[in-house]
Chains A and B, each alone.
Chain A
Amino acid sequence: MMTLQLSGYAPSRVGARRAAELRPLVEHFNIEYCAVLDSGQIEEWPRFFTEDCVYRITARENAELDMPVGLVYAEGRPMLHDRAVAISRTQMFAPRTMAHILSAPRIVGEDGQEIWAQCNYVLLQTLVEGPTTLHLAGTYHDRFVRDGDELLLRERQVIHESSVIANDLVYPV
């Protein structure tokens, strides 16, 4: 099975017309996904994934070295559920709000029922009496599957450019 290419450039494997058909689906998905995260309703977040999903957040440095470690490394929706519940109910951290800014949704390929796509993000964080800071920036590398008229994530690799994280990363990206 092919795996997502997390570094370097490879030309899109779909033509402009097909990409234009698929892009609104992917864009709609990402907008809803980020709306949930930015609203703070973290326990809603796992529903965007398939049961057998892979979710990882890792630095570009690791992606380029082909290192497997993740700031968050989850195999399967139950692990995402556990993280969401832990963050929303048990973890101790200072209150904060997050805002995702998305740009340049890119259709990379189609593989049977799967759509492979990328999207750039900027993640802003605001702490109490703090400035709004650029907390993380980078690219989603995704494998989507169709779920009726909608999509679900089978894999999301969140690659971040930011080489030094400001203290910690509390919420999913």
Chain B
Amino acid sequence: MYKNQEILDYTVGAKNGPADDYAWPADDHLIPDWVYTSQSVYEREMERIFKGRAWNFVALEAEIPNPGDYKRSYVGPVPVVVSRADDGSIHVFENRCAHRGAEFCRSSRGHAKEFVCPYHQWSYDLKGNLQGIPFKRGVNKQGGMPREFRNEEHGLLKLHVTTRHGVVFASYSADVEPLEEYLTPEILKDFDVVFPGKPLKILGYYKNELPCNWKMYHENLKDPYHATLLHSFLVVFGLLVAGNDSAMIADPVHHRHGTMASAKKEDKYAAVSEENKKEMRSFHDGMRLQDDRFLEFVKEFDSPWSVTMQTIWPNLVVQREMNTLGVRQIVPNGPHSMLMTWTMFGYEDDTPEMTRHRLRQGNLMGPAGFLGLEDNEAMKFVQEGVRRSSLDMNVVKLDAGNVGTTTSLISEAAIRGMYQYYREVMGWSSPIAG
């Protein structure tokens, strides 16, 4: 729990009701507060979304390059282990001993020949199969497991696994479509720019807890409107300015995935028209850096975009902010909280100077990044606002005629697209009248 909630931990009762009692507002340009605040709605999301027909990001292959390598991860809020077996295959299973339920894997990452639960030393192979039970036949012909006990019926709970170009996904669903189809060609295009299949070099990790609902993180990256207003850094330095070449791309099938894309102009500092300046309170005329190396954009990708921020439903963000690259994994933690684990990387063939450039540019992102911290603050404000207030609707009317993909930054069409899909999955697809 976010520590500040030790004092301010109140949710208006009507916003924490049973999912069955809620109906979607007739006007689909509104989002009701209860999607962010109801425990019951949250439980339904975990079952229908994270454990439903979805591919959840769990790891990069570069984190577990060798047989026996493993890492702790999550699918939704469920702790899992990602492991590489002796034959090189990757396996994902719940981090819960099949015997008495102990979360047996305690290290963030490591190397093992097998997994042994420390409580009663049941052992599992790298694929999650139960191998050994101490005193299985008892002692002196007394005690022990019944004759009919079969190890193969008591393995770890295994998930389905797929990979693409070094990125590992897992699913509880046996009938989820293949990953490429799941992502759609429109999303795959920019995904493959970051992950062309060449070896990655992991540069390190961040972890933080955001005191907000997990969906807000998706919405924030489907909301190009905020980027031009909240982030003075983007505006002043022309990383994203109203009027830049840009796009908010939603996958055409479900609108659940998105790519927020923009193309930086050649100049380091943006030229902003007098008319647009008046609309942007955070614009600081004449703001110049003493060291602007970290704004340099090395053209290393075959893409018209200098920035792509991808939201891959339900738990992955792929960050390509010029030359600083990373994946962010969303771990929902109740309606009012989420964990985020960040893995920052470059490529094995980067020069030392290119690595340093990526690290310098990394100051834009992460829990202390010039953009990252402002997003986190804003989402915290929204969660606190919706929990305790009397009003109960969010207004998303910008670019009202569109749903999904849009070329205008002043648009909430991608957010509405995501909620169209969400309502279908969650059982609120037909709005009731009035």
The minimal Cβ–Cβ distance linking B325 to chain A, given in whole angstroms, is 11
Instruction: Assess whether B211 is interfacial by the CB under 8 Å rule.
Output: yes
Contact present for A82 and B205 (CB under 8 Å): no
Contact present for A130 and B4 (CB under 8 Å): yes
Q: Mark A159-171, 1 if CB is under 8 A from B, else 0.
A: 0000111111110
Number of interface residues of B (CB under 8 A): 48
A170-B373 contact given A73-B362, A90-B287, A92-B378, CB 8 Å threshold: yes
Interface residues of B in 256-311 (CB under 8 A from A): 282, 284, 287, 289-291, 294
Instruction: Assess whether B423 is interfacial by the CB under 8 Å rule.
Output: no
A165-B7 contact given A71-B367, A79-B360, A92-B374, CB 8 Å threshold: no
A70-B367 contact given A133-B4, A167-B376, A167-B377, CB 8 Å threshold: no
Instruction: Assess whether B344 is interfacial by the CB under 8 Å rule.
Output: yes
Contact present for A129 and B368 (CB under 8 Å): no
Contact present for B377 and A168 (CB under 8 Å): yes
Q: Mark B364-383, 1 if CB is under 8 A from A, else 0.
A: 00111010111011101100
Contact present for A92 and B377 (CB under 8 Å): yes
Instruction: Please give, as numbers and ranges, the residues of chain A lying within 8 Å of B398 by CB-CB distance.
Output: none
Contact present for A69 and B368 (CB under 8 Å): no
Contact present for B290 and A82 (CB under 8 Å): yes
Contact present for A59 and B356 (CB under 8 Å): no
Contact present for B206 and A69 (CB under 8 Å): yes
Nearest B residue (CB) for A89: B284
Contact present for A167 and B367 (CB under 8 Å): yes
The minimal Cβ–Cβ distance linking B297 to chain A, given in whole angstroms, is 18
Contact present for B291 and A82 (CB under 8 Å): yes
The minimal Cβ–Cβ distance linking A49 to chain B, given in whole angstroms, is 13
Interface of B is mostly: mixed
Contact present for B204 and A68 (CB under 8 Å): yes
Instruction: Please give, as numbers and ranges, the residues of chain A lying within 8 Å of B381 by CB-CB distance.
Output: 94
Instruction: Please give, as numbers and ranges, the residues of chain B lying within 8 Å of A72 by CB-CB distance.
Output: 363, 368
Interface residues of B in 52-104 (CB under 8 A from A): none
Instruction: Assess whether A101 is interfacial by the CB under 8 Å rule.
Output: no
A74-B207 contact given A129-B7, A133-B4, A168-B373, CB 8 Å threshold: no
Instruction: Assess whether A76 is interfacial by the CB under 8 Å rule.
Output: yes
- Bound together, the chains give a CA A75 to CA B207 distance in angstroms of 23
Instruction: Please give, as numbers and ranges, the residues of chain A lying within 8 Å of B236 by CB-CB distance.
Output: 90
A92-B208 contact given A131-B6, A165-B367, CB 8 Å threshold: no
Interface residues of A in 78-133 (CB under 8 A from B): 78-79, 81-83, 86, 89-94, 127, 129-131, 133
CB-defined A-B contacts under 8 Å, sample of 28: A59-B206, A61-B205, A67-B202, A67-B204, A67-B205, A68-B359, A69-B203, A69-B204, A69-B206, A71-B366, A78-B290, A82-B290, A82-B291, A90-B232, A90-B233, A90-B236, A90-B282, A91-B373, A92-B232, A92-B282, A93-B377, A164-B208, A164-B209, A165-B206, A165-B207, A165-B367, A167-B2, A167-B376
Q: List 12 extra interface pairs beyond A57-B368, A72-B363, A90-B236, CB under 8 A.
A: A69-B205, A71-B367, A79-B290, A86-B233, A90-B233, A92-B377, A94-B377, A131-B4, A133-B4, A166-B2, A166-B3, A166-B211
